[in-house]
Chains A and B, each alone.
Chain A
Amino acid sequence: MTKTMDNNVNFTNSEIKYRQDFAIIAGWVRFGSKVLDLGCGDGSLLQFLHSSLEARAYGVEKDDANWLACLQNGTNVIQMDLEAGLSGFEDQSFDTVILSQTLQAMHNTEAIVQEMLRVGREVIVTFPNFGYWRNRLQITAGSMPVSKTLPYQWYDTPNVHLCTINDFDKFCKNHKIEVMERKVITDAQEISFMPNFLGNLAMYRLKAA
């Protein structure tokens, strides 16, 4: 997952490195709200939301090392496999459920999005945009894309469901999911012109239509 790669940057309470995607997510989360981050890595996003918005934060993480890092960082963390769904969580029991740069590594993609919409009143999904021009360029040149957001070789990638912004827009439309807001960024810059071509990271704020 790209998540793991991003977590090479170590955040601590005193020194949270600025991340544009975190800032955008924080802009979509209300002060003091109850937030669930699925595939929360070492808990740095939740820590950021807790320290900036006093969010009541819970994380879900499968990996032992990441789970332990969450515990070390003081994040409430539940160890479970997202592929099995969110059966331990009540309907509409969270204000916001987040899936940050993990969607593309899910096998049960449709199921997890539906589960997020069941558990959360709002849902935030971010993923690397496969339609980004650098990815297209590498494909045109005859190779699978390898980049900062897609750091894996074709044979060792955990990413099984890569998609473009256009694809995800269609997915939302077909599944009757309301796109409340969408932001697309490349190197911390917001992209509004030709986002499916110029945008590297897609960020969606969703709710059930």
Chain B
Amino acid sequence: MSEHNSIGIVKAQTAHFDTPLNLKSGGTLPQFHLVYETYGTLNADKSNAVIICHALSGNHHVAGRYAETDKNAGWWDNLIGPNKPLDTNKFFVIGLNNLGGCHGSSGPSSINPETNQPFGASFPIVTVEDWVNSQVRLLEHLGISTLAAVVGGSLGGMQALQWTIAYPDLVRHALVIASAPNLTAQNIAFNEVARQAIMTDPEFYAGDYYAHNTVPRRGLRIARMLGHITYLSDDAMGEKFGRKLKDTIKYGFDVEFEMESYLRYQGDKFAGEFDANTYLRMTRALDYYDPALEFDNDLSAALKVAKAQFLVVSFTSDWRFSPARSREIVKALLDNERTVSYAEVTAAHGHDAFLMPDAHYHAILRTYLQKIEV
């Protein structure tokens, strides 16, 4: 590869699992498969494995490219690679597509082996807890018994937190970035609007649109547009688009403002490549995650079992997963006298900041990860 520090050409792999996975909803997946990628080399005592948990629309393609000619690298390529903050010369990094996803792991758009038809609406509701349980299966498949670290932003951060609760002996470090111990009412509200956009699309067919050879493109597009508004801060939007016009005011409803152009572009792009049923399930997993619920809403009690060392990071302009929500996690860890450091990164980009290569943010991750012994 010509690109400096890139992991280079990567290849996705698939792992099949025949032992049933019991789900939090009470349902069961009799069999499933997970698509994943790995970067770097597993060391002799298998102590250098790091798992990357993806957010709402992420997948297993975290770093590198499939071909030299690929326009885009993996979604967190700025973080992961040789000599990058998450250094693949040191760590063996695993990225996977979560269950219910639409990038190769078992999900609503994959074929149900019992019917030879897409699962569609029949694919069960999966939760953060189910994902972590399935990720443990993937580790077993790879012959790895403990993780040096689990890293996740947003919904991925919830998975990192869940790892430390469900498998305290399996994870040494948790990097919980731009995340929260549960969603606020406002966040659930945004998710509901997104879901309503999808489910009221006439092409949705109660989730079985595959059989009708169509997709609820309009709904998915609107859902994504809404998401993009909330991932950015008002300031970042103002700076990037302001009131800029593409041409002149035309007294109509076509794209006139740059802002509209951006949203439509993002919406169209997403609607062309993402599955609506997956979007519904990912937002539901977000809504449902609440580890404190069964502890009388006491997060400190929920985190009592956690043994990992924690790095918690938030971003000042992130109003969807605000610093105050990260501080709740930090407080619960302090109550339990856990090893924890917390950074509140000054950033203008809102929730999206966790994916940006901000120098200080990356210095934090680099410093923390350098100190992990493998």
Residues of A within 8 A of B (CB): 34, 56, 58, 64, 67-68, 70-72, 74-80, 88-90, 93
Contact of B334 among A70, A72, A74, A89 (CB under 8 A): A89
Distance between B106 CB and nearest chain A CB, rounded to angstroms: 39
Tell me the bound Cα distance from A193 to B309 in angstroms.
48
Closest chain B residue, CB of each to CB of A94: B334
Digitize B321-354: 1 where CB-to-A-CB distance is under 8 Å, 0 elsewhere. 0000001001100110101111110100000000
Question: Residue B4 at the A interface, CB < 8 A?
Answer: no
> Which chain A residues lie closer than 8 Å to B360 at the CB level?
64, 68
With A88-B327, A89-B334, A93-B334 as known contacts, state yes or no: A76 contacts B340, CB within 8 Å: yes
Given A76-B339, A77-B341, do A88 and B367 touch, yes or no (CB 8 Å)? no
Q: Is the CB–CB distance between B368 and A71 below 8 Å?
A: yes
Interface positions of B (Cβ within 8 A of A): 327, 330-331, 334-335, 337, 339-344, 346, 360, 363-364, 367-368, 371
- A197 and B342 CA atoms in complex are apart in Å by 41
Q: How many residue pairs bridge A and B at CB < 8 Å?
A: 48
Chain A residues within an 8 Å CB radius of B371:
71-72, 74
Q: Which residues of B contact A74 (CB under 8 A)?
A: 371
Cα-based distance from A204 to B53 in the complex (angstroms): 48
With beta carbons under 8 angstroms apart, the residue of A58, A68, A78 that contacts B364 is A68
How far, in angstroms, from A79 to B340 measured CA to CA in the complex?
A: 11
A70–B341 CB distance below 8 A: yes
Contacts A71-B343, A93-B335 aside, 6 further interface pairs with beta carbons under 8 A come to A34-B337, A72-B367, A72-B371, A77-B341, A88-B331, A90-B331
Q: Is the CB of B343 within 8 A of A67?
A: yes
Indicate if the CB atoms of A88 and B364 lie closer than 8 Å.
Answer: no
* With A72-B367, A88-B331 as contacts: A79 and B337 at CB distance below 8 Å: no
Chain A residues with Cβ below 8 Å from B341 are 70-71, 75-78
- Report the minimum CB–CB distance from A145 to chain B (whole Å): 33
Nearest opposing residue in chain B for A58, CB measure: B334
Q: State in angstroms the CA–CA spacing of A67 and B311 once bound together.
A: 13
Residues of B within 8 A of A78 (CB): 330, 334, 340-342
Cα–Cα, bound, A56→B339 (Å): 9
* Partner pick for B343 among A58, A79, A88, CB 8 A cutoff: A79
Give min CB distance, A64 to chain B, whole Å: 6
B175 to chain A, nearest CB (A): 12
CB of A88 within 8 A of CB of B340, answer: no
CA distance in complex: A83, B180 (Å): 24
Asked if A68 contacts B334 (CB within 8 A), the reply is no
